[in-house]
Amino acid sequence: MTRAIVVTGTDTEIGKTVFAAGLASALRAKYWKPIQAGLEEDANGASDAARVASLGVPQDAILPEAYRLTTPCSPHRAAELDGLVIDPARLALPDVKRDLVIEGAGGALVPITRDLLYADLFARWRAPVVIVSRTALGTINHSLMTIEALRSRGVPILGMAFVGAAHEDSEATICSIGKVARLGRLPIIDPLNAETLAAEFADAFTLGDFA
């Protein structure tokens, strides 16, 4: 039976895909991004799945997206612009007989359709969620709102994974007020590749915390 871990974020462009790649590689898990939007930004139609492959997740461990959308915006609107209707039934958890890391899009309250948010989908899955948050200014507010949005829907939260330079007080404050586990912090990695990500992820996180 699949053991799924959902990776969501407090915003877009915060390092969620890099974290998801590191986690999937460390767990030797499958990776799935159910909906990919924004393919028009790259002439080759590059996706987050392609990025995690470049960061060490084997190609045969990457599941195909249920939807691949053109415009870089919320899935509900990107689908409308592509003339598509997103069917939530196609977003059921796949049974892959091994660990599965699932990456959402943007934040937890991003709309999938006009009446379904990512947080609602997470609640249907009943899978534990890791919240990825950058450490920059504004992170306390965004993190605590994300925690409340998930908790109000009964979504289990594994904890917070921070990305960026260390900000001890902000990280501790979020986890204390939000009553969530502090899983670790991934620094900005330069150069970023499969080898450097694996090394930094191993230093930053304890795999047992994701059990």
| pLDDT at residue 150 is higher than 90 | yes
The torsion angle over the Cα atoms of residues 128, 62, 142 and 139, rounded to 10 degrees, is 110
| pLDDT at residue 115 is higher than 60 | yes
pLDDT at 97: 87
| pLDDT at residue 92 is higher than 70 | yes
pLDDT at 70: 95
Position 18 confidence tier, pLDDT thresholds 50, 70, 90: very high
Average pLDDT over residues 127-152: 97
The DSSP line for the chain is ---EEEEEESSSSSSHHHHHHHHHHHHT-EEE-SEE--GGGSTT---HHHHHHHTT--GGGBPPPSEE-SSSS-HHHHHHHTT----GGGGSPP--SS-EEEEEEEETT-EEETTEEHHHHHHHHT--EEEEEE-STTHHHHHHHHHHHHHTTT--EEEEEEESS--HHHHHHHHHHHT--EEEEEPP-SS-SHHHHHHHHHHH--GGGG-
Instruction: Choose, from 30, 33, 97, 179, the residue flagged as catalytic.
Output: 33
How is the chain split into domains, by residue range? Answer: 4-210
In contact, 161 and 131? CB cutoff 8 Å = yes
Q: Tokens standing for 28? A: 């030797």
Write the pLDDT tens digit of every residue in 35-59: 999 997 654 546 899 999 999 999 9
Average pLDDT over residues 65-86: 97
Q: Is 33 a catalytic site residue?
A: yes
Q: Is the pTM of this model over 0.85?
A: yes
pLDDT at 44: 52
> Which fold is adopted by the domain 4-210?
Rossmann fold (3.40.50)
| pLDDT at residue 4 is higher than 60 | yes
Instruction: Give the dihedral sign, CA 112/123/143/23.
Output: negative
Average pLDDT over residues 113-125: 98
Mean pLDDT (the chain, rounded): 95
Q: Is pLDDT larger for residue 106 or for residue 9? A: 9
